[in-house]
Structure 1
């Protein structure tokens, strides 16, 4: 067992390590001490020591982003009171750019840097500290020495008051729960820490030990979660033929309302609603989140776009393949629940048609190609504005739909011999395990073609790099299904805007009535045809092409805007069975849904 663990550790180190990053560092040793003397004010004190130095200067840097969350978040903004010292004397440590401090280390073999970090944003990607617990998202807590990303480090934790647990994927040092070690900074930055009095339970799946750390309480059933999470894990490992971890940690933050997750190499952080576990719809959503983030331990953390590792922590890391990394994972979160018998066929189809409806009802799907959506995640997906709905599409939603289409294409063209699972395993074995690097766009396309048995140039031109309308019935037809639009025969008049509870416009939909006639986001609708209104219910009695006058309050002034109502073109699809499905179609359906 120890030999297997060591082999895996070496493989991961080689996979993520920048071969140039360790040259300048030699045998430098890096350690951290963290403490919480002002937990009530949301601060962590960090003491960083770099020893065995033999260089005239040392630059220490804070990452600007957290891998898996594609936005420059400028974590250095939360650092205060940075000082440096050696041999009892102060060392000059001026800040030379937004996230870098430069120390004069001439003649010094060791230097200690002390700083405070303010942490008061409880999300899966940012740190949070109060008297109840500390969640340390490590990219926003620990500085790294420039040129030393390949170096190991140790963390010693001085807990606040009655905190008695640490939940993380980082290994303990000599069995001490408050002392942890990382073989390099890519591993450190991929291993968040939950410190406090969290409720912890564990279970084993095959040769992998799982720990679940629950913060915030909740009405969860531990035994049910163990059983259902184990089913998900087994179904996902079956896709790739192995579970590469010996242990894995789920950190779950239970709040009144919460959601989202962030994947890591050997752990994940999930947001959940503390009282939602007994609501079957909410619980289904939570299991989908578990399936999504856990699937990432293969897809993106190991099988990854070539741009996503070794990481550049100072800048954006661009890729056109988040539709595979995230979109396919969104597809598999639904498929895995079906595989694990945690969702029946109808539930799976409902989940998939929900993604289809999201894509088809978003005007931006006709504006932004899928590959561009991935590439522009840094400036668009994580920085939405009032017009984003009209200009972009999510690589999660459309990527999930594309995953479904390719799955059906492969199953059908191979006469049921192969599926998307075979592509994922082949790419994992070839690039992560074999070549020990990420894949290019062309290489993944070749993987699809290998198992589909056909050239996919047209598919890519239309659906990945282009804006062609998706031929859903062609692909669903392979499995004996078709789409039915429940709204196809309706002719409802629509103002083409969305409003909040104060009747203030939050979105103006591209090419809708409000778009054409000049309603603006921020306008408060006060009257329709001189009748005071508090919502849009007055539109229900109108017909398409009716002309109305909308009175709005805009910047404190009243404006009367003539508007010609248009048809509401939204779709509401369901997936239904074709009558008299052929044996070939039923065979595809059986393979697809594991019936």
Structure 2
């Protein structure tokens, strides 16, 4: 036996011993007081060899870029040995509990979680069901994030169903397996009496778990969702799952979605399925979250996995991860022919309207918007419209522009689809890692055969106005602002009635109120000697609106306000309303090259 073989054998034995010494981890979840919105969590750790164990609760949920401090909902933490003798516990920081575990191979930790926040990213429990968002329920052993875990669920009395993307453990009722905590944290769980139906699409079994009732048609939903899934799968040529779960929460007014590895959680309005607009909105949400199956959950910026659950995970590329997904969701509805070409262009104009009518688009680059999502996007204030732009809306428009630029450069032979497929193959399948911003740019340039330096300088890292007519012109289309040239006077504010008072709720950068010093929370009492009253009736015009509409740009007005209980008179000069209203028109004299791009882009 040579020394190299001996060394290798010793290394293998020591590695094997290290593996068998790793603790086994399991959870039991029960609901003794669901009406009070509690989950009871018991965590069992076996095979411990350490003097102490640190248990940590994540502070955020992947896909939702905000530190939410899930540990704030934990109470009654305790630890015991296998003999049920109490073990000393020390709270080290906001989300870490240290257990004195010396000499204890078997350890049991328990705690309760208060869950009463309705959203797709937070847990909610009441007498009718339990929705478990895993990052706010399950703790992990510090340093053992890659350890497998099992979860056994004891449903409350009369709850009969469990829906989750986790694999069921054979032979064990209501028990599920996660190969590591990244998988566990990416697998939400619905427990209750949800309405469950199934369909197959792209060779994958899909389960839909509907909570909250609703006027949905299961057969129609199955067919329409399957069409979207197959349309998206065609881009990447493979569907990486064997099974996928949609958890849908139907409320009186619901919305939003959060992507997961082989599942998603969607919010919907329970009586919105019969309205064409609302139904198409729901299908768009399905298309958005399902597209994340590839873009974000597998093809991802480097910062988005493996995750650090203790702190923010920064990236400048959410405009790709989220924005391109927002571009593709409506484009998929066009390709699946839920939207006519004309309707799709109308929908596209809504994104243009949002971006162009937001003063913050001239202040914050979309790469900065991505990076600062943690402190700005999820924490908007009264000035956010003036200082920020959404990486969703702006990113969607940049997806459109890049698609058109590639189609034009390749004479409609290739588009953004080809970039996404090539990136997926290279970084998810071949290199098995996330990409850098420079790597995405390089791949897009390779597919297009052109430099994207100006695109990145002006639109990604800069705030240059988007020249829509240049980019849409590649498809023989042009953008028309129906409000261009109008000289409608405006105060540049929004106001709402509160307790019979007309209160300023926002002030637009560069407008009359901004320049003259009118502020959010000011109560408007009178204008030019006329008493002003508010109204909560959306079909009526406020007195203030009537007064402003009767004037003209350049008029000076005197506004009496109450600010913090003190009366004040402010002199303002009316400025023009700069908000645009947009439509996209087709050039009747478009060239054959332009028509080829239009045909490929809009699937004509």
Q: Do the two structures share a fold, i.e. TM-score over 0.5?
A: yes
Aligned position for 2:60: 65
Is 1:551 aligned with 2:589? Answer: no
Match of residue 397, structure 1, among 393, 398, 407: 393
Is 1:107 aligned with 2:103? Answer: yes
Aligned position for 2:40: 45
Aligned position for 2:263: 267
Is 1:526 aligned with 2:521? Answer: no
Q: Distance in 2 between matches of 1:231 and 1:532?
A: 57
The answer as to whether partners of 1:43 and 1:129 remain within 8 angstroms in 2 is yes
Q: Distance in 2 between matches of 1:175 and 1:164?
A: 18
In structure 2, the CA distance between the partners of 1:64 and 1:575, relative to structure 1 (3 Å rule), is same
Give the drift of 1:558: 1.9
Match of residue 568, structure 1, among 564, 577, 581: 577
Q: Distance in 2 between matches of 1:265 and 1:588?
A: 34
Q: Distance in 2 between matches of 1:351 and 1:439?
A: 31
Aligned position for 1:378: 374
Q: Distance in 2 between matches of 1:211 and 1:308?
A: 27
Is 1:446 aligned with 2:445? Answer: no
In structure 2, the CA distance between the partners of 1:316 and 1:25, relative to structure 1 (3 Å rule), is farther
Q: Distance in 1 between matches of 2:526 and 2:217?
A: 51
Match of residue 36, structure 1, among 31, 49, 61: 31
Provide the secondary structure at the position in 2 that maps to 1:381: coil
Match of residue 495, structure 2, among 496, 499, 503: 499
Aligned position for 1:336: 332
Match of residue 77, structure 2, among 78, 82, 96: 82
Aligned position for 1:430: 426
What do the CA deviations read for 1:568-590 (whole angstroms, capped 9, x no partner)?
01111111111311111110001
Q: Distance in 2 between matches of 1:568 and 1:483?
A: 19
Provide the secondary structure at the position in 1 that maps to 2:465: coil
Give the drift of 1:501: 3.2
TM-score between the two structures when normalised by the length of structure 2? 0.94
Give the drift of 1:557: 2.1
Aligned position for 1:232: 228
Give the drift of 1:174: 1.1
The answer as to whether partners of 2:358 and 2:389 remain within 8 angstroms in 1 is yes
Aligned position for 2:602: 593
Provide the secondary structure at the position in 2 that maps to 1:91: coil
Is 1:359 aligned with 2:378? Answer: no
RMSD: 1.2
Match of residue 452, structure 2, among 435, 456, 469: 456
Q: Distance in 2 between matches of 1:449 and 1:500?
A: 48
The answer as to whether partners of 1:23 and 1:147 remain within 8 angstroms in 2 is no
Aligned position for 1:4: none
In structure 2, the CA distance between the partners of 1:79 and 1:479, relative to structure 1 (3 Å rule), is same
Give the drift of 1:526: 1.8
The answer as to whether partners of 1:134 and 1:195 remain within 8 angstroms in 2 is yes
- After superposing on structure 2, the runs of 4+ consecutive aligned residues of structure 1 that deviate more than 6 Å are 22-25
Provide the secondary structure at the position in 1 that maps to 2:210: strand
Provide the secondary structure at the position in 1 that maps to 2:92: strand
Give the drift of 1:175: 5.5
Give the drift of 1:499: 1.0
Provide the secondary structure at the position in 2 that maps to 1:127: strand
Q: Distance in 1 between matches of 2:551 and 2:46?
A: 76
Match of residue 479, structure 1, among 471, 475, 478: 475
1:144-183 to structure 2, matched below 5 A, reads 144-174=140-170, 176=172, 178-183=174-179
Give the drift of 1:552: 1.5
The answer as to whether partners of 1:84 and 1:114 remain within 8 angstroms in 2 is yes
The answer as to whether partners of 2:476 and 2:587 remain within 8 angstroms in 1 is yes
Q: Distance in 1 between matches of 2:55 and 2:288?
A: 35
Q: Distance in 2 between matches of 1:138 and 1:147?
A: 18
Aligned position for 2:10: none
Aligned position for 2:244: 248
The answer as to whether partners of 1:219 and 1:274 remain within 8 angstroms in 2 is yes
In structure 2, the CA distance between the partners of 1:191 and 1:468, relative to structure 1 (3 Å rule), is same
Q: Distance in 1 between matches of 2:316 and 2:108?
A: 41
Provide the secondary structure at the position in 2 that maps to 1:402: helix
Aligned position for 2:136: 140
The answer as to whether partners of 1:25 and 1:148 remain within 8 angstroms in 2 is no
Aligned position for 1:510: 509
- Which stretch shifts more, 549-558 or 164-173? 549-558
Give the drift of 1:176: 4.7
Match of residue 205, structure 1, among 201, 205, 210: 201
Provide the secondary structure at the position in 1 that maps to 2:86: strand
Give the drift of 1:463: 0.4
Give the drift of 1:500: 1.8
Q: Distance in 2 between matches of 1:157 and 1:415?
A: 56
- Which stretch shifts more, 400-409 or 454-463? 454-463
The answer as to whether partners of 2:202 and 2:233 remain within 8 angstroms in 1 is no
The answer as to whether partners of 2:202 and 2:229 remain within 8 angstroms in 1 is no
Segments of 5+ residues of structure 2 without an aligned counterpart are 1-16, 535-541
In structure 2, the CA distance between the partners of 1:454 and 1:23, relative to structure 1 (3 Å rule), is farther
Q: Distance in 1 between matches of 2:314 and 2:222?
A: 37
What do the CA deviations read for 1:135-194 (whole angstroms, capped 9, x no partner)?
000000001000111111011111111001011100111155511111000000000000
The answer as to whether partners of 1:357 and 1:571 remain within 8 angstroms in 2 is yes
TM-score between the two structures when normalised by the length of structure 1? 0.95
1:186-205 to structure 2, matched below 5 A, reads 186-205=182-201
Q: Distance in 1 between matches of 2:204 and 2:461?
A: 40
- Between the two proteins, the alignment pairs up a number of residues equal to 574
What do the CA deviations read for 1:528-581 (whole angstroms, capped 9, x no partner)?
112111233221111001111112221122211111110001111111111311
Q: Distance in 2 between matches of 1:206 and 1:440?
A: 30
Q: Point out the structure with max Rg over C-alpha.
A: 2
What do the CA deviations read for 1:242-296 (whole angstroms, capped 9, x no partner)?
1000000000110011111000010000010010110101111110000000000
